[in-house]
Chain A
Amino acid sequence: MSEMKKIKNLKEFSTSADRFEGANLLCPGCAHSIIVREVLNATNDDLILSASTGCLEVCTAVYPYTSWDASWIHIGFENGSTAVAGAESMYKALKNKGRLKQPERNPKFVSFAGDGASYDIGFQWISGCMERGHNIMHVVLDNEVYANTGGQRSSSTPIGSSATTSPAGRVSYGEKKNKKDMVSIMAAHGIPYSAQVAPNKWKDMVKKIQHGFSVDGPVFINAVSPCTTEWKFDPKDTMYITDLSTDSLVFPLYEIIDGHELNITYRPKNVVPVEEYLAAQGRFKHLFKDEYKYLIKEWQERVDSNWAYLQRREESRV
């Protein structure tokens, strides 16, 4: 049986034994490390982990050091999900053949990847893993940009964001395309569990990760990961920005069970205007020029429309 942690409060949670060490090279204020710790701290079971090429990978396994006190693998940019799926297949094979060294253990298989490695270059690999029903969890550290290589746009980069390959300029407001809806796409694979999480709502996060570990089959988690470097905010403000992301409903927190049953898991008491979320980040600074203010209005309408859609989905139970 799985061993899930019973966590009473944040102090206890944040000081529980780490299998992801603080000794890493991630930027001060990076949400990646917070999310990873929250995911790993949700279970006491053994972990087999992967990271696709990206910030998390290059900052945590620089030879001859490692930040991981659990077995971990990195192959390439696109295939972290399949690496863990391969390891999970080997686990099943050796279990059936009676060759596991510690047969009583109940390992969890988790792949971490950025939005570039998930929404773009690794999309096919993740889809394959979801379709084949591996007992793995894929966690996207979604900072809406190729942060590791200096801030190029991905298909997760939202409209109006200035990225280095879709920069705001004299005649451009930056990224022109809307963000890809990965949670829905993954849910459409009919997987048992997919969810959006945020590191500020740690109880919601832990509940979802534990639910994900408890189901039989693939799990997809999209975690908002505010990037101090590319979103351009002060490193001390990571949680403030995350609060704005969830409370403005730009990143609504919800889950989809068995590909169709949608539950909203967090309803902000006071919904923050999207404008506040955008205004707190340098990547949207140019939107506050007179000629682009219509985009802020469109942003709000889009967020409202998506929130209404999620509520309709939740009510209709389909």
Chain B
Amino acid sequence: MAFDKMELKDIEVWDGNFAAAQAMRQCQIDVVAAYPITPSTPIVEGYAKFLADGYVEGEFVMVESEHAAMSGCIGAAAAGGRVATATSSQGFALMVETLYQASGMRLPIVLNVVNRALAAPLNVNGDHSDMYLGRDSGWIQFDAYCPQDAYDLNFIAFKVSEDHDVRLPCMVHQDGFITSHTAQGVHTLSDDVAYSFVGDFKPMNDMLDFEHPVTHGVQTEEDWHFEHKARQHNDLMTKVMPKIQTAFDDFEKLSGRKYNIVETYDMDDADVCVVCMGTSVETAREVATEMRKEGIKAGVVGIRVIRPFPFFEIAKALKNVKAIAALDRSSPNGTAGMLFNEIAGSLYNTEKRALLSGYVYGLGGRDLTKAHLVALFKELQANVDAGKVTTQLQQFIGVRGPKLAYL
């Protein structure tokens, strides 16, 4: 191989972007087609520098838009090799057409999405609007809460995405700026260990096998379209979670770091809990610990795998709790939040349904403070004490002006 390995310390101080770029380097991607956008730009810049310094070998194609970036990734993946890119926000929105095409064509691609708000008004900071926009696109979606997760989940994403039983593209999400630009200690894998985990790329239906020409991206109407979509959904519903669990188990053996489809914290005896994603999970864990000192038995559930949604895992995690808050960092624009609805769906047919209320927070990078969470846990306890939801079902946290509450 015509590239140099990089000596890493056991613990490096990396932000989420650089952690993702390092993971991409260690996976030895064949083609990266990319377009820069804040806050994910440093991922592709980092990868470009690795290439310039001789630490990776492969084609790096700086295209003219995010739509072209994913279009190039689709062509490259169909040709037969390891493919990845990164984006955020408006770029993600521009990619949406091709996201559906990538998954519908069953092509393994890893997309690092550094979550950012969607305009208008224009905003470069982190919320989950772009992540939510992708949730029906047929991709597998992992959520990182910190730079360590962003690093580790990239390996898991390649492993799952490229599995011949799966062949679906994967997103690895991290929060814009709070994760992507905040340096933390990241436990590393050596280049050899990391690569051995993801393994060599094994092509399937590759266009570059000239002895076996393939047709990708066919036309189907009412005669066959439904079967294709149903098969894709079926594989997401039945095949993907076991593969993710296996990848998590294998990764734990390799690194000692344990990931779970649903990440529970102090949930064994919890009366109240919040369910959230991204960096809010760590904040909520800290506050939950403090609430326990005040006599409120608080827990936290983090969603690690957003798609396929962990319907049964979430029901199991929430089966003994009495009041739940679903925290959505994206404006639902006219309905309940996504997490509220998903959790309600997961619990509705279970025997013991906890009280469920929804909170919308942190839009456009607005901080979710510990004080917000303290008040929230107290509201949940009040719900438990009253035996009913004492507030409206949907409340906005941290927004100026009179309190906004609905439903």
- State the A residues within 8 Å of B (CB): 46, 48, 50, 57-58, 61-64, 66, 68-76, 78-79, 82-94, 96-97, 99-102, 105, 107, 124-125, 127-128, 131-132
- Known A-B contacts A96-B57, A97-B57; the reply to A62 vs B75 at CB < 8 A is no
- Known A-B contacts A85-B72, A89-B61, A90-B76; the reply to A76 vs B97 at CB < 8 A is yes
- State the B residues within 8 Å of A (CB): 1-2, 30-31, 33, 57-59, 61-65, 67-68, 71-81, 83, 97-98, 101, 105, 206-211, 213-220, 224, 228
Extra 12 A-B pairs, beta carbons < 8 Å, given A83-B71, A86-B61, A101-B210 = A57-B219, A62-B219, A66-B218, A75-B98, A76-B71, A76-B101, A87-B208, A90-B77, A93-B31, A94-B208, A96-B57, A102-B211
Name A128's contact: one of B31, B68, B101, B208 (CB within 8 Å).
B68
B198 CB to nearest A CB, Å? 15
B211 CB to nearest A CB, Å? 7
In the assembled complex, the Cα of A79 lies from the Cα of B208 at a distance in Å of: 19
A75→B218 contact, CB < 8 A? no
Residues on the A chain within 8 Å of B72, using CB: 82-83, 85-86, 89
A85→B210 contact, CB < 8 A? no
In the assembled complex, the Cα of A97 lies from the Cα of B28 at a distance in Å of: 11
In the assembled complex, the Cα of A102 lies from the Cα of B210 at a distance in Å of: 7
In the assembled complex, the Cα of A96 lies from the Cα of B31 at a distance in Å of: 12
- Known A-B contacts A71-B207, A93-B58, A96-B2; the reply to A86 vs B79 at CB < 8 A is yes
- Known A-B contacts A83-B71, A124-B65; the reply to A63 vs B220 at CB < 8 A is yes
B216→A48 contact, CB < 8 A? no
In the assembled complex, the Cα of A91 lies from the Cα of B78 at a distance in Å of: 11
A-B contact pairs, 28 of them (CB 8 A): A46-B210, A57-B219, A71-B210, A71-B213, A71-B214, A72-B216, A74-B219, A75-B74, A76-B97, A76-B98, A83-B78, A86-B71, A87-B75, A89-B59, A89-B72, A89-B75, A90-B208, A91-B208, A93-B30, A93-B31, A93-B58, A93-B81, A97-B30, A100-B208, A107-B210, A125-B64, A125-B71, A128-B63
In the assembled complex, the Cα of A38 lies from the Cα of B216 at a distance in Å of: 23
B217 CB to nearest A CB, Å? 4
In the assembled complex, the Cα of A76 lies from the Cα of B97 at a distance in Å of: 8
Name B74's contact: one of A61, A66, A83 (CB within 8 Å).
A83
Q: From B30, B65, B71, B213, name the one whose CB has the most chain A CB atoms within 10 angstroms.
A: B71
Residues on the A chain within 8 Å of B228, using CB: 63
In the assembled complex, the Cα of A46 lies from the Cα of B61 at a distance in Å of: 23
A123 CB to nearest B CB, Å? 11
- Known A-B contacts A63-B219, A94-B80; the reply to A79 vs B210 at CB < 8 A is no
In the assembled complex, the Cα of A128 lies from the Cα of B61 at a distance in Å of: 10
Q: Which 9 A-B pairs have the closest CB atoms?
A: A86-B75, A90-B79, A71-B207, A79-B71, A128-B64, A74-B217, A83-B75, A86-B72, A87-B79
Residues on the A chain within 8 Å of B73, using CB: 86
B75→A90 contact, CB < 8 A? yes
In the assembled complex, the Cα of A235 lies from the Cα of B63 at a distance in Å of: 41
In the assembled complex, the Cα of A79 lies from the Cα of B58 at a distance in Å of: 22
In the assembled complex, the Cα of A83 lies from the Cα of B76 at a distance in Å of: 7
In the assembled complex, the Cα of A90 lies from the Cα of B108 at a distance in Å of: 14
B216→A73 contact, CB < 8 A? yes
A124→B215 contact, CB < 8 A? no
- Known A-B contacts A46-B210, A73-B78; the reply to A93 vs B59 at CB < 8 A is yes
Residues on the A chain within 8 Å of B105, using CB: 75
Residues on the B chain within 8 Å of A87, using CB: 75-76, 78-79, 207-208
Residues on the A chain within 8 Å of B214, using CB: 71-72
Residues on the A chain within 8 Å of B68, using CB: 79, 82, 124-125, 128
In the assembled complex, the Cα of A93 lies from the Cα of B56 at a distance in Å of: 11
A101→B211 contact, CB < 8 A? yes
Nearest A residue to B78 by beta-carbon distance? Answer: A73
Residues on the B chain within 8 Å of A127, using CB: 64
A209 CB to nearest B CB, Å? 19
In the assembled complex, the Cα of A68 lies from the Cα of B208 at a distance in Å of: 15
Residues on the B chain within 8 Å of A124, using CB: 64-65, 68
Residues on the B chain within 8 Å of A46, using CB: 210
Name A73's contact: one of B58, B75, B98 (CB within 8 Å).
B75
Q: From B61, B64, B206, name the one whose CB has the most chain A CB atoms within 10 angstroms.
A: B61
Nearest A residue to B62 by beta-carbon distance? Answer: A132
B33→A89 contact, CB < 8 A? yes
A97→B58 contact, CB < 8 A? yes
